Structure 1
Amino acid sequence: MDLDLPDSGLVFGLRLDGRGGAVPVAADGEAGRPVWLHLERHDPAVQRWLAAAAAVPASVARALLEEDTRPRCVVRPDGVLLILRGINFDPSAEHEETIAIRLWITAGRLLTLRRYRIMAVTDQREALEAGEGASTVAELVLRIVERLTARMVPEIDGMEESLVRMEVEALDDGAAIDRDRLSAIRRRALVLHRYLAPQREALAEFGRAAGERLAGIDPLDFQETIERVTRLVEDLDALRSRAAIVEDGLALKTAERMNRNMYWLSIVATVFLPIGFVTGLLGVNVGGIPGAESPWGFAGLAALLAALIALEIWIMRRARLI
């Protein structure tokens, strides 16, 4: 069975054999078997193919090619549009916190579009080539969603472990906490939450509406995936709150330390203010300064100043200022 394929931009095309394996679309395969095409979204040939030759509705093609997307699910009579996000593991996408995968799902064909390499897709391709993959389009979609979710878990767990260490260090006044790392955790949790929260709703909508059209999805399996996404959203909520608490605690400790330093500076200034006044008064260049002609004048002045300091300290202690 010949397929209409774009001239370029096809990352890979596989025809499912219904037994967990797949063959390239160019190879001979069983007629009528589902096809999975994985495409480069920014390739001009792919864009032209989607617009003209792929039997994809115009509104769906526009959604698949959008530059900035948020997770969502749109159920149509002729298929399901599903846009999801995963954590960026592609070094070429250093500026991206998350990367999008766009899916157009029908009973006999799955189109997936990418801008950067998506490890969840790579996992499923390798599983199909090893004969251990999905047997239907619906099962393939479920497995991609599961891998997208599973690959988020170690990242979020790592953020939580780092935050736990910072929480312990925050209890130690002498410990130095990496504020840049703390801010990075809080910012990353915010970004992931921004996409995971609507992704949970998109998957729930897909499970409700699309499951009736695409046979082969076990409702319990899909519900478990949605529950895992929900737990990740809750974990990110907790991470954001805990990171904010640690930052507030650090800010409070810094303010307390500055206040303490300013207090002791004020005490020192208070002690030396009268001494400065006395020495300044005796340093004026006029006649009649007491002790100017006496060999014991300096020693007497030093004794007087020491007594003055002792008196000030005694008064401050009685007043519980020190």
Structure 2
Amino acid sequence: MTGFAYRVVKGAAGKIAPEAALTADGDLVWVHLSTNNIEAQDWLGEKAGLADYIVDALTATESRPRCEAVGTGAFINLRGNVADKAALPDALASVRIWASGPRVFSAMRKPLTALDAVVDAIDAGEIGDPGDLIAKFAATITEELDPEVADLGDELDDCEADLDADQVFELRRTVTHVRVEAIRYRRFLSPQRAALEKLAALPVDWLHDDDRLHLAAAADRAARMAEELDSIRERAALMHEALTDLRAEQIDSRSLLISIVALVFLPVTFITGLYGMNVENLPYAKEPWAFDAIFGICAAIAAGVIIYFLQRHWFRR
């Protein structure tokens, strides 16, 4: 089975086997499992003795951030970054936590980058109880997501600064990417804020005042990111409309240019086509100066049409 366990007594943390954690005492007994295999799911139900609904919540394939109180315990599901984002259909992966008294069970299908920070904190003696553990998960996840949301906004700022009809296709691809990413992050950050707020308000004795403050701070940060993502989505939609308008203007401008060129050469083409007919009795067809005269007339007509368009400002975009 893939997993590990920690036991914390008076601020001193020690790593133990998951089986030993089932009977261990202390200020915090934390068991973490990877639920990519059936063995871990069976272990939670059979050896750990957790209720079926808790095992189902810890091992669910698809889940959204939420918090549920069950007696003196609580189930919390949070979404955070994973190392290999290309392997996920969604932007974030879940960490599912069940806390009841000093005992905490957590499970992940994909390892989150926040896990290393939590393990380092518990090794350094910074985590002393279940509230500290969950608050560290929440704080680390939101700290990692904050700069990514800010990067989406910066990427959109760059697109707005480089707004140019000659870069419509590149900018549209970037704006579409930003909009899709904002929607994917927003899908989880809004319920994550609600879950953290609900957890901070639960009347359980294993959550202390400082834990509630840290959870509230993480919830506030998640709310701010959700608002920023809403703003990014709206700006991306407006930017997409602006790029569509620029593209339409570019097409109109090129169509106008083509039309002007056609209008310039239309009378010239008529005259040259007329004198290009292989028939008798064309006026001045036998005169030596006929070619120069026809060429001069065509040039004069073309110049006259161009001057007319310039006076009417048809060449302006």
TM-score, normalization by structure 1: 0.88
Q: What are the within-5 Å matches in structure 2 for residues 69-148 of structure 1?
A: 69-90=63-84, 93=87, 95-131=89-125, 133-148=126-141
Match of 2:162 among 152, 163, 169: 169
Q: What are the within-5 Å matches in structure 2 for residues 275-290 of structure 1?
A: 275-290=268-283
Q: Quick one: distance in 2 between partners of 1:311 and 1:141?
A: 80
SS in 1 for 2:223: helix
Q: Quick one: distance in 1 between partners of 2:263 and 2:249?
A: 21
**1:180 partner amino acid:** R
Q: What are the within-5 Å matches in structure 2 for residues 310-321 of structure 1?
A: 310-317=303-310, 319-321=312-314
Structure 1 position 49 matched with structure 2 position 43:
yes
Measured after TM superposition, the shift of residue 18 of structure 1 is 2.9
Matched residue, 1:266: 259
Structure 1 position 152 matched with structure 2 position 138:
no
Q: Quick one: distance in 2 between partners of 1:122 and 1:92?
A: 20
Match of 1:239 among 227, 232, 249: 232
Structure 1 position 9 matched with structure 2 position 2:
yes
Matched residue, 1:22: 13
Alignment check: 8 A CA contact 1:97 1:188 kept: yes
**Stretch moving more, 22-31 or 241-250:** 22-31
**2:119 partner amino acid:** R
Deviations 1:260-293 (A, max 9, x none): 1111111111111111112112212111112221
**1:205 partner amino acid:** K
Match of 1:226 among 219, 227, 234: 219
Matched residue, 1:4: none
SS in 1 for 2:301: helix
- Change over 3 Å in CA distance of 1:147–1:52 after alignment to 2: same
Identity %: 29
Matched residue, 1:216: 208
Measured after TM superposition, the shift of residue 51 of structure 1 is 2.5
SS in 1 for 2:162: helix
For structure 1, list consecutive stretches of 5 or more residues without a partner in the other structure. Answer: 1-7
**1:59 partner amino acid:** Y
Q: Quick one: distance in 2 between partners of 1:275 and 1:48?
A: 87
Alignment check: 8 A CA contact 1:13 1:35 kept: yes
SS in 2 for 1:81: strand
Q: Quick one: distance in 2 between partners of 1:228 and 1:93?
A: 27
Alignment check: 8 A CA contact 1:102 1:112 kept: yes
Matched residue, 1:307: 300
**2:14 partner amino acid:** V
TM-score, normalization by structure 2: 0.89
Q: CA RMSD in A?
A: 2.3
Alignment check: 8 A CA contact 1:93 1:116 kept: no
**Stretch moving more, 143-152 or 158-167:** 158-167
For structure 2, list consecutive stretches of 5 or more residues without a partner in the other structure. Answer: none
Deviations 1:64-103 (A, max 9, x none): 2111111111111152111110123336735542111111
Matched residue, 1:248: 241
